Amino acid sequence: MPGIHLEGPYLSAHDGYRGAHDPDVLRDPDIAEFTDWQRAADGLIRIVTLAPERAGAEEFTRYVTRRGVTASIGHSAASAADVESFCRAGGRLSTHLGNGLPATVERHDNVLWPQLAASGLWATFIADGHHLPAPVLTALLRAKGPGRSVLVSDAVTVAGCPPGDYRTAVGGNVTVEDSGRVSLRGTPYLAGSGASLAQCVRWACVGAGLPTADAVAMATRHPADLLGLADRGRLAVGARADLVQFERDGDGRPGAVRTTVAGGVVRYSAA
C-alpha cells in the first residue's frame, strides 16, 4: 500500500457539508494528534482532508505540507478567502469535488467555485454514477482540466454486498440498493460508494463518455504523479508491476476485470 488518505476528523460539522461523518467526533485540526497518528502509521499518511475554515487549519496545512503530506480540502464550508489561505499554506488537492455539499447553496458565494478557479489545486472525483451525474462530471473535468484530475471510488465496507440494510463505522445504519448505491438508511443521502475503482473507470467511459486513455490515466498515473510516486501508475522499466487487465466491450471501452497483478504477482485471474 503506497499510502493512507486520512479523511477527517478535521471536517465541517454542518449538515450537508459533513456528509455521513458523525458530527460528534468532528473537530479542529490538531498537529500533536496528527503527529501521533503519523508515527503509528509509520509515515504512511500521504493525504489528509480538512476543512480550511476550522481554527488552526492554516497552521496545520503548512505543517503537514512541509513534511511531504498532501493537504486536501473537503467536507468544507470554506469561503473564497479560506480557500485562498489554504492554497497559500500549501494545500494542493480537493477531495471528491462536487460532493460533501448541501443540496442547496448560494449560487455564486459557495465553496465549489473557488476550488475550481484555483489553478494550483488538483481534484478527485467519484465516478460511480451516483455521486456525480455525467454532465456534472464532464463540466467539472473541463473546468479543472484532465491533467489535474484523479478518479477515486470512495468505496466503503459494504461495497459489493447484496442489497439490504447494514451497519458501518462511517454513516451508521446504511442501505445498499439494487443499483449498488449506498445511502443513509431512510434518507436520499449518500454514505460512500458501492463501486470499485475498476467500475468507476468503466462508468467514466460508458456513462460519462470519457476517452478510455484519459479515464485510465486519471485512476493510475495522475494519482501517482500527485503523490510523487515515480514507480507507480505507469508502464515503464523499473516501475512496480501493478497491473489491471480489462476486457473490452464492442466499442473498445473497459469491461470486466480479467487479471490483477500486484507487485509482479498475479492476485486474480478470471481465466
pLDDT in tens, 76-107: 999 999 999 999 999 999 999 999 999 899 99
Residue 179 is assigned to a structural domain of this protein: yes
Residue 1 pLDDT = 84
Cα 240 from chain centroid?
Answer: 23
Instruction: Note the pLDDT tens digit of each residue in 133-146.
Output: 999 999 999 999 99
At residue 240, the 3 state secondary structure works out as: coil
Tally of domains within the chain: 1
Residue 182 is assigned to a structural domain of this protein: yes
Residue 58 is assigned to a structural domain of this protein: no
Domain that holds residue 172: 156-194
Residue 189 is assigned to a structural domain of this protein: yes
Asked if the model's pLDDT at residue 111 lies above 90, the reply is yes
> 145: part of which helix (H) or strand (E)?
none
Residue 177 C-alpha cell reads as 440498493
> 266: part of which helix (H) or strand (E)?
strand 265-269
pLDDT category of residue 15 using cuts at 50, 70 and 90: very high
Neighbours of 37 (CB within 10 A): 14
Residue 178 is assigned to a structural domain of this protein: yes
Residue 126 is assigned to a structural domain of this protein: no
At residue 150, the 3 state secondary structure works out as: strand
Residue 188 pLDDT = 86
Residue 201 is assigned to a structural domain of this protein: no
Do the beta carbons of residue 8 and residue 37 sit within 8 Å? no
Cα distance between residue 13 and residue 24, in whole Å: 8
pLDDT category of residue 171 using cuts at 50, 70 and 90: confident
Instruction: Note the pLDDT tens digit of each residue in 190-233.
Output: 999 999 999 999 999 999 999 999 999 999 999 999 999 999 99
In the predicted model, what is the mean pLDDT of residues 18-22?
92
Residue 185 is assigned to a structural domain of this protein: yes
Asked if the model's pLDDT at residue 169 lies above 90, the reply is no
